[in-house]
Amino acid sequence: MEPIQFAKLTGNGVRVAVVDSGIDQKHPKVGSIAGGVDISVHSDGRIVYDVYNYTDRTGHGTACAGIIRKKAPDAELFSVRIFDKSLSAPGDALVSAIRWATHQGVDVVLISLGTTDLAFREAIVDACRLAVDAGIILVAAEHNDGFECYPSVLPEAIGVGGGSIYEKYGFYYRPNERIECIARGDKQRVCWTGGRDILISGTSYAAPHITGIVALIREAHHGANLATVREFLNANALDGTPPLVSESDDPKPAKRPVKLAVADRSSTPSIGWIKKAACYPFNKEMHGMVRFRDLLGFEISAIADPAGKGMVGKDAGEAIGIAPVGIPIVPRLKDALKGADTLILGYVDELTRIASRDLLKESIQTALDKGLHIFSFLPVPGENHVLTVNSP
């Protein structure tokens, strides 16, 4: 199989759907797009499609679109918006997004997101199989922390992890790995809302690099199916071992010590400490905990979530499409912590970027002030309860 001359291709005639937070086509490096849709899940479970309002809410989707444009500037982009302002989306919206893209007859679908919730695995598999049967190539980002995440680990999708790669068309291909592609995922300049650019890292921004490459492959070999695209990826990949992104690869932030009040603990941390837990925010990890709460050895007493996501006031079960579970979703973390002995703190990194506040530090401080235990999905930097945060 001969190498493809990527530099001579532009993605002309290739239709790419970006399932994300929307696309800001006013950004000069993105430009006009071919169309799109906003997909949301009504409180009664109905899927709602809005073909008039699908611009970007946060910048995440615009970043992905801008990366695709660098490699395939003439590809037709479609904005499939499922994220709310906190970069959260119901699993049903993801399934519906894949199906919508399939019905539109696009060539490539970028999914720089995923779910760890097993309850949605079967529906996602079914949607992905329909897409593959229709000749569509699905490209999905690996979970940033390496968890099994759908659809990136599925054989119907090309899973992408992050590495330190600087060649414009450079990537690695690992045919025997569940996450088969490695593309640039370290800190890089990307498009954002308001016509600006920012520096950011993550697997979310590695996947669009491969999406652009796949668009060029489909331009050069129109109609190439998933197996053939994988062969072309293998034939055109860089040789050697990919330099994977790790925390040590990022420049160290300026340090500012933040002293925290620490509850006295006389023993090694134990899950047995948890009797009643409050959760924040209501993201996909928390969805799984609510869905399988009967398997937990403790009670979930309340959940806090930003008001802008539209979940506040709902029962946590109803919010994820199951029967009511008697767990309220409230807007203030302090209110959720009442009566709890532990804060289970989910991924707040994207919320931190959106709010321009260190929500990890703030949430931990709030819980410690109340003498609560804390379980955090995110690593807490620093030692002896001194946090390291970016200087303003």
79 with 21, same domain: the answer is: yes
Q: Which of 186, 218, 249 is the last residue of a domain?
A: 249
Task: Give me the residue label for tokens 């190498």.
Answer: 3
Q: Which of 196, 228, 249 is the last residue of a domain?
A: 249
Whether the predicted pLDDT of 86 surpasses 80: no
pLDDT band with cut points at 50, 70 and 90 for residue 358: confident
Write the DSSP assignment of 147-159 as a string of letters.
---BTTTSTTEEE
229 with 93, same domain: the answer is: yes
Domain coverage including residue 186: 6-249
Q: Are 124 and 107 in contact (CB under 8 A)?
A: no
238 with 262, same domain: the answer is: no
Q: What is the average pLDDT value for the chain, to the nearest integer?
A: 88
Q: Are 261 and 290 in contact (CB under 8 A)?
A: no
Q: Which of 249, 275, 306 is the last residue of a domain?
A: 249
195 with 127, same domain: the answer is: yes
211 with 270, same domain: the answer is: no
Residue 1 lies in a domain: no
190 with 317, same domain: the answer is: no
Residue 384 lies in a domain: yes
Query: Can you tell me the mean pLDDT for 133-143?
Result: 97
Query: Can you tell me the mean pLDDT for 157-161?
Result: 98
pLDDT band with cut points at 50, 70 and 90 for residue 219: very high
Residue 179 lies in a domain: yes
225 with 200, same domain: the answer is: yes
pLDDT at 382: 52
180 with 240, same domain: the answer is: yes
Q: Are 212 and 71 in contact (CB under 8 A)?
A: yes
310 with 169, same domain: the answer is: no
Residue 118 lies in a domain: yes
* Of 255 and 308, more confident: 308
- Helix/strand/coil for 161: strand
Peptide bond connecting 281 to the previous residue in cis, omega within 30 degrees of 0 = yes
Phi/psi of residue 183, nearest 5 degrees: -130, 180
Query: Can you tell me the mean pLDDT for 232-253?
Result: 73
Residue 136 lies in a domain: yes
Name the pTM for this structure: 0.70
Q: How far apart are CA 130 and CA 364, in angstroms?
A: 44
pLDDT band with cut points at 50, 70 and 90 for residue 384: very low
Q: How far apart are CA 386 and CA 258, in angstroms?
A: 6
Q: Which residues of 87-96 are buried (b: 16+ CB within 10 A; e: fewer)?
A: bbbbbbbbbb
95 with 197, same domain: the answer is: yes
294 with 237, same domain: the answer is: no
Give the domain CATH number at 164. 3.40.50.200
Q: How far apart are CA 324 and CA 293, in angstroms?
A: 13
The total number of structural domains in the chain stands at 2
**Poorest-confidence range of 46-55, 60-69, 342-351?**
342-351
**Poorest-confidence range of 132-146, 213-227, 243-257?**
243-257
Give the domain CATH number at 372. 3.40.50.720
Residue 287 lies in a domain: yes
Residue pLDDT, tens place only, 258-301: 333 334 444 455 667 789 999 999 988 899 899 999 889 899 99
Residue 348 lies in a domain: yes
pLDDT at 387: 36
Residue 186 lies in a domain: yes
242 with 318, same domain: the answer is: no
pLDDT at 116: 85
pLDDT at 269: 59
Whether the predicted pLDDT of 256 surpasses 70: no
- Helix/strand/coil for 184: strand
